[in-house]
Amino acid sequence: MGTPDNDVAAGHRAQRHVAVVPHTHWDREWYEPYQSFRLRLVTMLDELIALLERDPSYAKFLLDGQMAVIDDYLEVRPENEERIRALAATGRLSMGPWYILMDEFLVSGETIVRDLQSGLLRGAAFGGAMEVGYLPDMFGHIAQMPQILHLAGFEHAVVWRGVPSVIDRSGFRWEAPDGSSVRAEYLPTGYGNGASIPDDAKALVRRVADHETEIGDFLLDGMLFMNGTDHQEPQPWLGRVVAEANELQDDYVLEVTTLPDYLAGAPTEGLRTWKGELRSGARANVLMGVASNRVDVKIAAARAERALERYAEPLSALYLAPEEFPHRLLDLAWREMVRNAAHDSSCACSVDEVVDAVLVRYAEAYRIADGLAGQALGALTRSLAEAGPTVVNVSARPRAGMVEVVVAGEDVPAGGQALPDEPGAFGIPRGMGPLTLDATTVRTIVGMLPNGSQIDTHTWIQGVAVEEGESGIDITIAFGSEERFDVPIASIKQDLYTRLGARPDAMVRIRIDQPLVRRVLARVEAVPGFGYRPLEPVVPAHPVTVDSEAGDGPVVMTNGLVTVAVDRTDGTFSLDGVPGYGRLVDGGDFGDSYNYSPPAGDRLIDIPDRVSVTVSERGPVRGVVTVAAHYTWPDHVDGMTRARTGEVGVEVSTDIELRADERIVRVATRFVNPASDHRLRVHLPLPEPAAGSDAECAFAVVHRGLEAEGRVDEFGLPTFPSRRFVSAGGLTVAHDGLLEYELVDIEGGPSERRAKTMAVTLLRSTGMLSRLGMAYRPLPAGPLTPVEGLQLRGRTIEARYALCTGCDDPYAVVDDAFVPLDVLYAPGGGERPPSASALEVEGAEVSAVRRQAGMLEVRVFNPTARTTTVKVGARSGWLVDLRGRTVEPVDGSFDLRPFGIATFRTAG
């Protein structure tokens, strides 16, 4: 290793190795839709393959670290698979390790792992993926990335955005919270520092020398010259011009090479260590506003992740026979999730056609997952020995909670709470007399009916009786609240169809026999983790009461554990005496999909014109107070004055819910967005002033202070992402896709700064993909394209979050708030006992349960700073790494290091 600066000053110096890595950065969809970019991809790869085959001096090419480009290409050019395989086999073409270059903060940890695993698997079909954690364009990097890479056997990462100013060399050791680390190669000016090499050797040498002047202080040894940028095509003269440049001079030795070859020789000694996430805007944009644009996309992502990770996979793994595990359908769902993880896709910093496609992919993944979960629950229902309602818990932790059940008759179980009566199935009033129709009409109706027995959420066909007589045909259909598996609907339909066809002139009398049922809320005692038990309602120890008698005074809802008092004048509420929760603050946003930008002289609206507070439910199991608030918001930001202008009215409805025996307060806020160019946040007071926050990220909780590092080109706005929850000052907020928060109302001097409030963004409405001259980011971050969908104008927004003060386990809050207990109605006659746990996991958080390689696979992580003992009941098996390679045997339990991630495989 030389000291280049001194040598240059002295006029004689060692030769600098310049590693030229030809590549292209291929955003699959962004300012153009996928199919448009794919057409360009096909052209680019057609040319690249031919170039590599004919020109050995064009030695190498990096296919952007993501296998999606290969699959997208081969869908159009299947005949070129062997040519690609041959180029990969000889090391000319590097591909993978990811399936897609994801965003790391906006998708789940499990999505990141599946992204890597599917990339490695697909890469194996071409002789192996590149074993470098190539992360060129992600908008910052999660704390646990070094551990994820380490668990896949990688020693290197390559990063650009997010690297803090204290890292002042092109290499550093990047350490995860568990202490595992990788060597990170830092690209100080990005992945395009060697893009567009001129077809002129002298000009190339000048370019290299200029770049050395620019980043020379960073260089440890060689210079990585990334020859490519967004959607760039290869430059056919590269090999020749590099050879000519080497002939011309002795200062630099240029070599067309690969990342792994370059990194194999990169210095590893004496590197500075950085532990944790990389979210600094010191030298490159981190584009923090992507966490809050298109909140509908973030909510859809949260719903799909939950359906897949928390329901479909574990339920299928635990309640279906191993050979019935729906591998293929789950792979299809995951493929949609992984494609959507792409940084321009999940971040929704894209044109509307792209965002529409992202929403469709989330919907498809969700539908697959939801359907598979239903099938697995059906299998569990049928397999239970005893008949009757059974409560199912899909969380690893044993949990009590509230369930909604349908009970026969008028009686409400002791301690239960009756819900308002509903009309009968199909909207037919219960006890209505027979309906008389002609046979031809009925036959048409029968022909259109599905072959299932379920009528609605709570109603199944129990049986069908048919009587034929002189005067016509009598059909009696019995409905009931229990799912029946012995009613042959298809053959009943066929029989009716035949009979009605034989007597087209007959009158048909249809009677619906609907027993009296009631929907009831009930509190149930602890259900085993990943288990079930018969429904046995209990009388709550801490029932909810709601007191709304006091005229203009607050509406007070309490269960003895938490007291919520809703202010009738402004619609905010207090929690245990701390006032001001739920204050909605609407401000202007003249920003873009990437960054928030306050307009000139911003006008904040946080006081409603009028408020009405009503009690929707009064306990004892659940209390709900509904706040209907009317606001007048400015209509939009004027393009010339850059000030908020116009007026629009909006009705915002908020349900505040408290359940018996729980400390959690659930909040759901609904409105139709009437305005453009604005940001709506809910302000949540902190019980104690806080110097920082603790937010969930993939496989960890990260601590952040009140500031973010930035620079003139991107102000360090301390709005941060949280995956499913964030805690500060004694308050935990769990949410359903409301990823952005900021600690505000800061007081105290520089060393004593404390925030008093957490603001959670409910909506950020802008109309531009990227904008010029913004307050916090003056230069564009993408094309200056108007994108109407980013406004979300006219769209219904439903923001759901849960608050808990003094709750020490935020993962439990998330489970209770968003992964509720379910009730099944078992017919009896199966083999499973009335109560059991299908899988015991104690001592760590569970990230995934699925079947893999013929085994049951459970991935856990330790979110604490203490070594934990993970107990898996009587099971034995192995710990494996993220590539399925055996690490060590397990018998009943294993120790997991602080902040460690582990994957356990067991038979059965």
Q: Which is nearer to Zn ion, 290 or 315 (CB)?
A: 290
Taking the CA atoms of residue 889, residue 892, residue 897 and residue 898 in that order, the dihedral angle to the nearest 10 degrees is: 150
Q: Which is nearer to Zn ion, 27 or 175 (CB)?
A: 27
CA of 598: how far to CAs of 594, 633, 673, 782, in Å? Answer: 13, 15, 19, 19
- Name the minimum Å distance from CB 69 to Zn ion: 12
- Name the minimum Å distance from CB 130 to Zn ion: 18
The site for Zn ion, by CB under 5 A, has a size of: 2
CB atoms within 10 A of CB 329: 16
Q: Select from 26-34, 259-267, 435-443, 586-594 the region that touches Zn ion (CB under 5 A).
A: 26-34
Q: Which is nearer to Zn ion, 135 or 380 (CB)?
A: 135
Closest CA to 393 of 304, 309, 311: 311
Q: Which is nearer to Zn ion, 358 or 823 (CB)?
A: 358
Which position's Cβ is nearest Zn ion?
Answer: 137
- Name the minimum Å distance from CB 867 to Zn ion: 39
Q: Select from 132-140, 447-455, 595-603, 781-789 the region that touches Zn ion (CB under 5 A).
A: 132-140
- Name the minimum Å distance from CB 733 to Zn ion: 30
Burial (CB < 10 A; 0-12, 13-18, 19+), residue 54, is exposed
- Name the minimum Å distance from CB 27 to Zn ion: 4
Q: What are phi and psi of 628, to 5 degrees?
A: -105, 115
Q: Which is nearer to Zn ion, 228 or 863 (CB)?
A: 228
Length of the chain: 908
Which of positions 419-478 make contact with Zn ion (CB under 5 A)?
none
- Name the minimum Å distance from CB 350 to Zn ion: 11
Q: What are phi and psi of 141, to 5 degrees?
A: -135, 140
CA of 460: how far to CAs of 455, 604, 723, in Å? Answer: 5, 52, 38
Q: Which is nearer to Zn ion, 347 or 613 (CB)?
A: 347
3-class secondary-structure state, position 706: coil
Q: Select from 19-27, 376-384, 578-586, 735-743 the region that touches Zn ion (CB under 5 A).
A: 19-27
Instruction: Decide if 567 contacts 608 (C-beta within 8 A).
Output: no
- Name the minimum Å distance from CB 26 to Zn ion: 8
Q: Which is nearer to Zn ion, 161 or 306 (CB)?
A: 161
What is the arrangement of strands in the sheet containing 720-721, beginning at the earlier edge strand? Answer: 583-588, 678-690, 754-765, 740-747, 720-721
DSSP state of 288: G
DSSP state of 268: -
Q: Which is nearer to Zn ion, 194 or 529 (CB)?
A: 194
Q: Select from 22-30, 324-332, 767-775, 842-850 the region that touches Zn ion (CB under 5 A).
A: 22-30
Taking the CA atoms of residue 369, residue 375, residue 377 and residue 383 in that order, the dihedral angle to the nearest 10 degrees is: -150
Q: Which is nearer to Zn ion, 230 or 694 (CB)?
A: 230
Instruction: Enter the tokens of residue 819.
Output: 């992964």
Instruction: Enter the tokens of residue 310.
Output: 């928390």
- Name the minimum Å distance from CB 344 to Zn ion: 6
Compute the distance between CA of residue 528 and CA of residue 241 in angstroms, rounded to an integer: 68
Q: Select from 131-139, 347-355, 479-487, 787-795 the region that touches Zn ion (CB under 5 A).
A: 131-139
Q: Which is nearer to Zn ion, 138 or 838 (CB)?
A: 138
| DSSP letter for each residue of 835-858 | SEES---BSSEEEEEEEETTEEEE
* Helix axis angle, 295-305 to 327-340, nearest 10°: 160
- Residues 6+ positions from 444 with CB-CB distance below 8 Å: none
Per-residue interface string for the shown chain with Zn ion, residues 502-531, x marking contact by CB under 5 A: ------------------------------
Instruction: Decide if 849 contacts 313 (C-beta within 8 A).
Output: yes
Residue 731 amino acid letter: L
Compute the distance between CA of residue 186 and CA of residue 160 in angstroms, rounded to an integer: 6
Q: Select from 130-138, 382-390, 689-697, 886-894 the region that touches Zn ion (CB under 5 A).
A: 130-138
Q: Select from 134-142, 538-546, 659-667, 779-787 the region that touches Zn ion (CB under 5 A).
A: 134-142
- Name the minimum Å distance from CB 815 to Zn ion: 34
Query: Binding to Zn ion by residue 104, rule CB under 5 A?
Result: no
Which of positions 135-174 make contact with Zn ion (CB under 5 A)?
137
Q: Select from 129-137, 356-364, 701-709, 710-718 the region that touches Zn ion (CB under 5 A).
A: 129-137
- Applying CB under 5 A, among 16, 20, 22, 27 the residue interacting with Zn ion is 27
Q: Which is nearer to Zn ion, 100 or 205 (CB)?
A: 100
Between strands 181-186 and 156-159, the pairing is: parallel
Q: Which is nearer to Zn ion, 103 or 696 (CB)?
A: 103
Interface ranges with Zn ion (CB under 5 A):
27, 137
